[in-house]
Structure 1
Amino acid sequence: MMRLLRVELRRLWARRVTRWASAVVLLLVALGAFTAYQTAKPPSAQQIAEAKQFYADELEWWESEGEQAVAECAEGAEAEGMTPAEWGCENMEPRLENYLPPTQTFVPSAEQLEESSGAAEAAPEGEEPAPNAAAVQEIQQSVWHDWGGLGTLDELAALLLMVALVVGVSFVTAEVNSGSMGMWLTFEPRRRRVYWSKAAAAALGTVPLVAVGFGLLVGTSYAAYASFDALGTMTGDVWVQVAGFAGRLVAAGALAAVIGVALGILLKHAAAAVGLVAAGVWASAVFAYPLGELQRWLPTTNVTAWLNGGNVFVVDDCAPDADGMFVCTQAEHVVTAGQGGLYLLVAGVVIALLSVVVFRRRDVS
């Protein structure tokens, strides 16, 4: 088995598709570096001057009309059965930062995380907080949630999984369609050994692509933010979270390559296998919300949960009020990293075993 694995690893890295995959990884790194540079750079002198002018004009209006505007806002809030604070009447005064282009730091500040997650908002008076409120807050206050340079890397990092999948798919479809698979089986007729050696080679061979790719994404982004002195507060806990994400990403990349091999055997054509996965990802993104609590079982939901250490999805909870009218509120549900990892593992094992059965019985000559 080890001899077959060494042979398959050499064949994997000798293929042109694998070299093209390396180029795609470098392209993703360049895109990440450019995005980091654009979001980290401070406002230009012209932007600051224009912002100060707009702020001065708005402040002049506020000094003469501000009290009346706040009073009208309070009346509107009362008409809607809300307090002025809930209606935003206390935040109407002009602020200079509102006229400047938004900037980020590599690590989000506590204030940014609270603004992004809404964690600072207490439950309405007389109502108990949601049972999973603490879990929701913990997930939404991680460095991967929205704000900060690290928060923009998780989507690019997820594309590395697609690279691993494509490498795994093409590794077997090229041999099946060219007839070399049948020739190889004349030298090694034990099909299960051939299959698992290819799956293991795809998993191990894509580890450098995913690991080095993510390392370069983090490194170039860090350098871009550091050049503008916009790193934020770097702590040991931040690097622990980065290391945890990297480990989970590498594991998911290896599994994606194994699934790619399985889909390649089942469908025999690379375009069909990759297209099926792409269509599934697209459908999950477009039709997820109407599915309600079934979102918990979508592949994209669980991939995100595994990579980010947890995921939160929203469901409309509609029920009649005291007057019999249906009122809808949004309920947040948590998918843990453990569930996400188990979901991916089970899905990968099922698809791989099905592919083994097909490979043992199918004519590949």
Structure 2
Amino acid sequence: MMRLFRVELRRLWWRRVTWGVALLAVVVGGITVALGVGSAQPPTDAEIAEAEGYYAQELEWWEESGAEQVAQCEAEQADDPDPAADYRCEDMAPRLENYLPPTVDYFPDDADRAWMTEAVSDGVDGTEGTDPRVAEIQGSFWHGWSGLPGTVPATWFLLVLALVVGVSFVTAEIGAGSLGMWLTFEPRRRPVFLSKTLAVAVGVLPVVLAGWVVVVGGLYVVHAAFGTVGEATAAAWTEVATFTGRLAVAGALAGVIGVALGVLLRHAAAAIGVAAGAVWVTSALFVGTTELQRWMPGTNIDAWLRGGATYGVTVVRTGTDGVPYQEWVERAVTQGQGGLYLLGLAVVLGIVALLVFRRRDVS
């Protein structure tokens, strides 16, 4: 088995497709870094002066009309049938930071995450049916949309590349007929399948990690040049290390799923299309509608990568006056569920593919 694994791993990295995908992963990382350059720059003196001018004008208007605006806001909140409704009327006053161009730190500080946790908690506390873990998840490090946490969506493309490596490794051999020839030298199909699967699971790690290292290192250099690194604490770097580990596991499982789909569908375009279509269709059909969102691939991948995910459903409530109204309720999906979901998906598809591979003609 180990001899077959070493042979398959060498064959995987002899393929130009694997090297091309690895290069593409680096390019994706570079593009992600380039997109983050603008937001890493602090505002210039001219931009600060312009923002102060707009702020002064708005403040002058607020001194004249602010009390009226707050009173109107409080009246609308009082008329809302939802007793937990909070229009944040006390936060309507203009603030200078609202007029400055957005500047983000590489590591979002505790204050940035604290306001998010507080805002979510305001909608969670006392709301029937809302998972109390929602506030903790949405206020966690990787649920930010700026700095390094804002690059999480780019890692999805790295997982797609891992899947492509697994699919192409199998379908290319099936299409060229070399797999049938290989089985004449090694007729035991189960070791052949398992060695290919293991080789892909290990072989895709450099592809996924290369792109992620470019993102982590490149963005750090950019933010350090502008002095916007933020709080580079040991806890922050620990978050980066644990995320890297979760990404590596997800990449390996994506490669395994790619091998299984390649064996089952035999054509690269069909396998990749089915995988992409499954994620897109399930996300599009069930977003904001039913509790089935909990079991969608996209939700669980996000939960595994970010350390938890949330989704929302609309439920009907009855106000104190007896009038029904709709309310948005948040649910939580834990990191553990996301990991078990990905592992279970890879294992089930792998077993089905192995059973098919042992009986199907591959010539």
TM (norm. structure 1) is 0.91
The residue that corresponds to 1:112 in the other structure is 112
Aligned equivalents of 2:46 and 2:98: distance in 1? 16
Q: CA deviation at 1:271?
A: 0.5
2:330 aligns to what SS in structure 1? strand
Q: Does 1:142 align with 2:140?
A: yes
The residue that corresponds to 1:358 in the other structure is 356
Specify the code of the residue in structure 1 equivalent to 2:17: V
Q: How does 1:214-363 map to 2 (within 5 A)?
A: 214-363=212-361
Aligned equivalents of 2:189 and 2:68: distance in 1? 81
The answer to whether the Cα contact below 8 Å between 1:165 and 1:260 also exists between their aligned partners in 2 is: yes
Aligned equivalents of 2:80 and 2:321: distance in 1? 16
Q: Does 1:16 align with 2:16?
A: yes
| Per-residue deviation, residues 143-163 of structure 1 (Å, max 9, x unmatched) | 111243121121112221111
The answer to whether the Cα contact below 8 Å between 1:143 and 1:150 also exists between their aligned partners in 2 is: no
The residue that corresponds to 1:206 in the other structure is 204
Aligned equivalents of 2:298 and 2:124: distance in 1? 32
Deviates more, 1:193-202 or 1:95-104: 95-104
Q: CA deviation at 1:268?
A: 0.6
| Per-residue deviation, residues 196-217 of structure 1 (Å, max 9, x unmatched) | 1111111111111122322221
Judging changes above 3 Å, is the alpha-carbon distance between structure 1 residues 98 and 2 closer, same or farther for their aligned structure 2 residues? Answer: same
Specify the code of the residue in structure 2 equivalent to 1:89: C
The answer to whether the Cα contact below 8 Å between 2:12 and 2:199 also exists between their aligned partners in 1 is: yes
Q: CA deviation at 1:101?
A: 1.6
The residue that corresponds to 2:63 in the other structure is 63
Judging changes above 3 Å, is the alpha-carbon distance between structure 1 residues 362 and 79 closer, same or farther for their aligned structure 2 residues? Answer: closer
**Identity across the alignment (%):** 47
The answer to whether the Cα contact below 8 Å between 2:293 and 2:299 also exists between their aligned partners in 1 is: yes
Aligned equivalents of 1:22 and 1:359: distance in 2? 28
2:317 aligns to what SS in structure 1? strand
Judging changes above 3 Å, is the alpha-carbon distance between structure 1 residues 152 and 128 closer, same or farther for their aligned structure 2 residues? Answer: closer
1:195 to 187, 193, 199: 193
Give the RMSD, CA atoms, in angstroms: 2.4
Specify the code of the residue in structure 1 equivalent to 2:142: W
Q: CA deviation at 1:5?
A: 1.3
Deviates more, 1:349-358 or 1:53-62: 53-62
The residue that corresponds to 1:26 in the other structure is 26
The answer to whether the Cα contact below 8 Å between 2:22 and 2:210 also exists between their aligned partners in 1 is: no
The answer to whether the Cα contact below 8 Å between 1:8 and 1:201 also exists between their aligned partners in 2 is: yes
Judging changes above 3 Å, is the alpha-carbon distance between structure 1 residues 124 and 338 closer, same or farther for their aligned structure 2 residues? Answer: closer
Aligned equivalents of 1:296 and 1:7: distance in 2? 40
Q: CA deviation at 1:326?
A: 2.2
Structure 2 alignment gaps of length 5 or more: none
| Per-residue deviation, residues 56-87 of structure 1 (Å, max 9, x unmatched) | 2222323333344434444444444799x933
2:157 aligns to what SS in structure 1? helix
| Per-residue deviation, residues 273-327 of structure 1 (Å, max 9, x unmatched) | 0011111121133223244211111111111111111111112221334544322
2:146 aligns to what SS in structure 1? coil
1:359 aligns to what SS in structure 2? helix
Which runs of at least 4 in structure 1 moved beyond 6 Å after TM superposition?
Answer: 128-131
Specify the code of the residue in structure 2 equivalent to 1:328: Q
Q: Does 1:186 align with 2:192?
A: no
1:87 aligns to what SS in structure 2? coil
Q: CA deviation at 1:193?
A: 1.3
The residue that corresponds to 1:93 in the other structure is 93
Deviates more, 1:196-205 or 1:327-336: 327-336
The answer to whether the Cα contact below 8 Å between 2:300 and 2:342 also exists between their aligned partners in 1 is: yes
The residue that corresponds to 1:2 in the other structure is 2
Q: CA deviation at 1:120?
A: 6.9
Aligned equivalents of 1:257 and 1:67: distance in 2? 60
The answer to whether the Cα contact below 8 Å between 1:114 and 1:120 also exists between their aligned partners in 2 is: no
1:55 aligns to what SS in structure 2? helix
Specify the code of the residue in structure 2 equivalent to 1:32: T
Q: CA deviation at 1:110?
A: 2.5
